[in-house]
Structure 1
Amino acid sequence: MQAEAKLIKALQSPKDRETAFRELVSCYKERLYWHIRKIVLDHEDADDVLQNTFIKVFRSIDRFKGDSKLYTWMYRIATNESLSYLKAKARRNNVSVEELKQQQLGQLESDVYFEGSAIQLQLQNAIASLPEKQQLVFNMKYFEDMTYEELSGILETSVGGLKSSYHIAVKKIKAFLDQNETI
């Protein structure tokens, strides 16, 4: 039995669930954290969303049918949780999601958990200028090196549509960086 199938079986077994869940968290927490962090930008928010994601995974694991890989299913949950979190936080602050992300980008430079250079900050600004779907596709393809097939499972979009979104996102980022080039 392959490792993922064995883990899923253990997660769905009341007797083995807690041990298997600790293994699942250990295997995926870092990858999911960075995926979430690229969406919500703020470290504390990313931690909150990661915790919410694992709670939802734990509560929903019995309904996992195995139609996709386990990590694809968890990434879909993490993506949806991240987007919902941003929308709720924007509503609480009486701003749009775009305004919230701009505020967070402004705070990124002073974030003790951000170790990026000025160039990385500029790239983050370029990514933030993209529509939400293009941001997701670009981050997962460029930073996480996911295949279009994996992206299709997570974002529930056709491979052709994802290729187009990524290509357009790359062009927009290049244009943004060219326009905002600092010497």
Structure 2
Amino acid sequence: MSEQVDDQILKYFREGNQQEAFKLLMNTYQQRIYWQIRRILISHEDTDDVLQNTLIKIWKGLPAFKGDSKLFTWIFRIASNETFTFLEKNKKHSGHIDLDECYQFSGTSSDHIDGSFIQQKLEQALLQIPEKQRMVFHLKYYEDLKYTEISEILGTSVGALKANYHLAVKKIEEFIKTD
């Protein structure tokens, strides 16, 4: 289904039907990109800023998209790069995590968060692991991507991804057991 939608987006775009291409792109990817970014940045305001930059880059980059990868992979790569760029620019502030916002985020309603105690513990544990591990965990666990797809998105070897995912799972398990 996703590849058919991606093909339709590209078809609309190449045929000059920008409005339909944009509408389909937003309907298909905006929420998924938002949650990919949000699970790393936590803050709704920061996520909105990065999402806006990401969507602009995607739209401006569409004419140059060559199809060497799936559109989905290309889009998530841009979102990942924008997220990491934001984190680098704001590194001096990243040591401060607003716990109220974290707990509010843990209870947020979404397709993935049902408010259960275990889910809240998982979300809190995710806040404790490094951004790279959080991103790998998100793409593998929530997006259910294969390591090869994550490798294309993050530009990292499959072996390094497996190690990051394993470390993330281990840290999450430890957090849930000890808390």
TM-score (norm 2): 0.82
Structure 2 Cα separation of the partners of residues 30 and 5 of structure 1? 19
Within 5 Å, give how 1:149-160 maps onto structure 2: 149-160=148-159
* Runs of at least 5 residues in structure 1 that lack an aligned partner in the other structure: none
Match of 2:18 in 1: 17
Contact 1:134 1:169 in 2 (8 A): yes
Within 5 Å, give how 1:32-181 maps onto structure 2: 32-88=33-89, 90=90, 94-95=92-93, 97=94, 99-100=95-96, 102-103=97-98, 105-110=99-104, 114-115=108-109, 116-180=115-179
Structure 2 Cα separation of the partners of residues 82 and 75 of structure 1? 10
Residues 1:110 and 1:3: Cα distance change in structure 2 (over 3 Å): closer
CA offsets 1:68-119 (integer angstroms, 9 cap, x no match): 110111111111112222343x36xx52x2x13x22x442324698244554
Question: Which one has a bigger Cα radius of gyration?
Answer: 1
CA offsets 1:9-64 (integer angstroms, 9 cap, x no match): 43244x22232121111111111111111111122322222222111111111111
Match of 2:112 in 1: none
Structure 2 Cα separation of the partners of residues 36 and 59 of structure 1? 19
Runs of 4+ with >6 A deviation: none
SS of the aligned residue for 2:30 comes to helix
Q: Aligned residues, how many?
A: 172
Decide which moves more: 145-154 or 159-168. 159-168
What is the identity percentage for the equivalent residue pairs of Structure 1 and Structure 2?
A: 44
What is the Cα-based RMSD across aligned positions, in Å? Answer: 2.4
SS of the aligned residue for 1:114 comes to coil
Structure 2 Cα separation of the partners of residues 112 and 120 of structure 1? 8
Report deviation, 1:131: 2.2
Matching residue within 1, 5, 8 for 2:7? 5
Contact 2:6 2:72 in 1 (8 A): no
Corresponding letter in the other structure for 2:49: D
TM-score (norm 1): 0.81
Corresponding letter in the other structure for 1:77: I
SS of the aligned residue for 1:81 comes to helix
